Structure 1
């Protein structure tokens, strides 16, 4: 139960902040539910109702001090904007992080039930976001990898060449060549990689034509049980499953792996697991090209020497921070930490190449 002492000004400010965030999060869930159907819609509406209960708790504590309506925090307002404009996995990923950061467990004025609710809400949102993440996995991975590879590799290339020569035409030609060759290589590599992964996963899927020959097996129960044992069930579980399939013909329509949770990607739909090979290839090609263009821009506009390299570093730095933050949002982790990690890796590679360019340039001179 909350303490019975009268609240001070800090308590009031904190409660009003909680109230504002609860209201905004309820609206986010309601907006996301409006864009969904079926089970997802019901789940999101249930989350919105839970946030309404939490909102009412702070209204009761604040009384007349609940008005005028407080303004929610910046990150919660961003959630609302994303939900209204996109209604996508980005909003769910941010909501997952928001629920995980709930301060209720350490606040004596919040109930234990509210703290438990927020923890479970995080798991619910994680499950909803996981569906979208699986659908985006192949193309998103290719896009992020392509953009960052284009940024870092071409930044390293132009800074290394820029350390050797002051001729902007040479640096520009090198950067454009790196852009085109890298984009084509990345696109082709992603196509082959995703296509090969889909084929490997497809090879692990059961051949459902095997169901048609079950009645012709010699020692049908024992032979069929081997299928389930090979997929990870214990001997007793495999025997029970095989017997059920043999005695109930209708259950065979679910396939040999219906209801089995395997640990080796068996039964995983390759399209959902790794995405489309063409989609990954096109995403990689376009994003590598876009990323590789950024370091070249100063030279494209006639800048030379250290000023061009400095502007190139600044542009790439901003792009690396944005891409790192995006990865953080999608993974439900800290956008700031992911952004700084991306920046450190990119600038580390570029700095090493620049120093090598200066070394080789001095040696050649």
Structure 2
């Protein structure tokens, strides 16, 4: 992680003041990056902690490079750029997956590719760091994918469906009390529906994965298999392995079986990726309810007429952009683009239902 991208050749009489400033800035950024990785490592354990400490050590090698170039001109300890300081702050105070997603974006920037003051190994380090962080972020997303999906989609659905519902009845000429009743009814009905749907969806997916998981008792049958017939090869072929490769793999498994402890035939880790049905249902209910409450807040606060409609629209628009931005960060996509997409979808849905309400109001009137 670094910030310098301008290139300046060193004059024969020594580095210029501009070069010294740039080297100090790069030094500060690398120090900040090392701190951010160490902050994250302090919150993890096992292999993930070791990987993060390895990244911190690599950033500290980069620190040593810039310190070596600066020599006696290293000067006082500087702070990194606002972006790198933000990474350290987030690593200290916020969630694992969110911070890694931001670090993934930062590491993917070509910092040293055209910098003649940095050796090629440093540029290669930064590119590899991006892939390491990508892998760590993917682990985190996989562990929380069910609940994360339910939370994000729940909040977004609550925002879009309830602002559309509220504006629809407003377009039809409904009064404040009717709008409140409609909005709160939509909140509760939608939250219950989303929670039930998520629970059924996740539970069914876990049951399907469990049905596909090999029987553990099959492992105990390995020593009794006919080595010549080797029906274990049929197991691997049934799982999609080509015939010759299945035979070689089965032969190797049986040879290991007769010379030591039997390896697992194969397992399924999909249930861990899917998540808990209760967790997904709870997250969906809570986040749908929270999102659906936003368009109703001005009416609950006592606002009426055009002021309430404008306030509901503004609050919902901001919430939609925040939801889209979070999705963008977590998925490694540009946050602003995702935020604008979420806003456009919500605004289109609200506008259509409002026009529908106007049409019905005019017809009934």
TM-score (norm 2): 0.89
Please list, as runs of the form range in 1=range in 2, the aligned pairs for 1:123-162 lying within 5 A after superposition.
Answer: 123-162=131-170
SS in 2 for 1:105: coil
Equivalent residue, structure 2, for 1:326? 326
State how far apart, in whole Å, the 2-side matches of 1:220 and 1:204 are: 27
Change over 3 Å in CA distance of 1:326–1:99 after alignment to 2: same
Shift in Å, 1:232? 2.8
Assess if the C-alpha contact under 8 Å between 2:40 and 2:52 holds in 1: yes
Change over 3 Å in CA distance of 1:163–1:67 after alignment to 2: farther
Change over 3 Å in CA distance of 1:27–1:219 after alignment to 2: closer
Shift in Å, 1:215? 5.1
Equivalent residue, structure 2, for 1:234? 242
> More deviation in 301-310 or 291-300?
301-310
State how far apart, in whole Å, the 2-side matches of 1:119 and 1:44 are: 15
SS in 1 for 2:214: coil
Assess if the C-alpha contact under 8 Å between 2:227 and 2:254 holds in 1: no
State how far apart, in whole Å, the 2-side matches of 1:9 and 1:338 are: 41
> More deviation in 292-301 or 242-251?
242-251
Q: Which runs of 5+ in 2 are unaligned?
A: 1-6
Shift in Å, 1:8? 5.4
Change over 3 Å in CA distance of 1:50–1:161 after alignment to 2: same
Structure 1 consecutive aligned stretches of length 4 or more whose deviation exceeds 6 Å: none
2:30 is the alignment partner of 1:22: yes
Equivalent residue, structure 1, for 2:65? 57
Equivalent residue, structure 2, for 1:261? none
Aligned-residue RMSD, C-alpha: 2.3
Assess if the C-alpha contact under 8 Å between 2:253 and 2:263 holds in 1: no
Which of 177, 198, 208 matches 1:200?
208
Assess if the C-alpha contact under 8 Å between 2:198 and 2:284 holds in 1: yes
SS in 1 for 2:144: helix
Change over 3 Å in CA distance of 1:173–1:87 after alignment to 2: closer
2:102 is the alignment partner of 1:81: no
Shift in Å, 1:355? 2.0
SS in 2 for 1:290: helix
State how far apart, in whole Å, the 2-side matches of 1:203 and 1:252 are: 26
Shift in Å, 1:63? 4.5
Equivalent residue, structure 1, for 2:3? none
Change over 3 Å in CA distance of 1:339–1:16 after alignment to 2: farther
Assess if the C-alpha contact under 8 Å between 1:144 and 1:287 holds in 2: yes
State how far apart, in whole Å, the 2-side matches of 1:138 and 1:113 are: 39
Which of 1, 5, 10 matches 1:4?
10
Shift in Å, 1:87? 6.1
Shift in Å, 1:78? 2.0
Change over 3 Å in CA distance of 1:275–1:64 after alignment to 2: same
Equivalent residue, structure 1, for 2:307? 307
2:265 is the alignment partner of 1:256: yes
Please list, as runs of the form range in 1=range in 2, the aligned pairs for 1:266-345 lying within 5 A after superposition.
Answer: 267-345=267-345
State how far apart, in whole Å, the 2-side matches of 1:16 and 1:116 are: 21
Residues 178-220 of structure 1: per-residue CA shift (max 9 Å, x gap): 0000000000000000011111222221112223334555676
Shift in Å, 1:89? 2.3
Change over 3 Å in CA distance of 1:350–1:7 after alignment to 2: farther
Q: Which runs of 5+ in 1 are unaligned?
A: 258-266
Change over 3 Å in CA distance of 1:12–1:140 after alignment to 2: same
TM-score (norm 1): 0.89
Which of 27, 41, 44 matches 2:52?
44
Change over 3 Å in CA distance of 1:141–1:105 after alignment to 2: same
Assess if the C-alpha contact under 8 Å between 2:173 and 2:358 holds in 1: no
Shift in Å, 1:13? 4.5
> More deviation in 211-220 or 37-46?
211-220
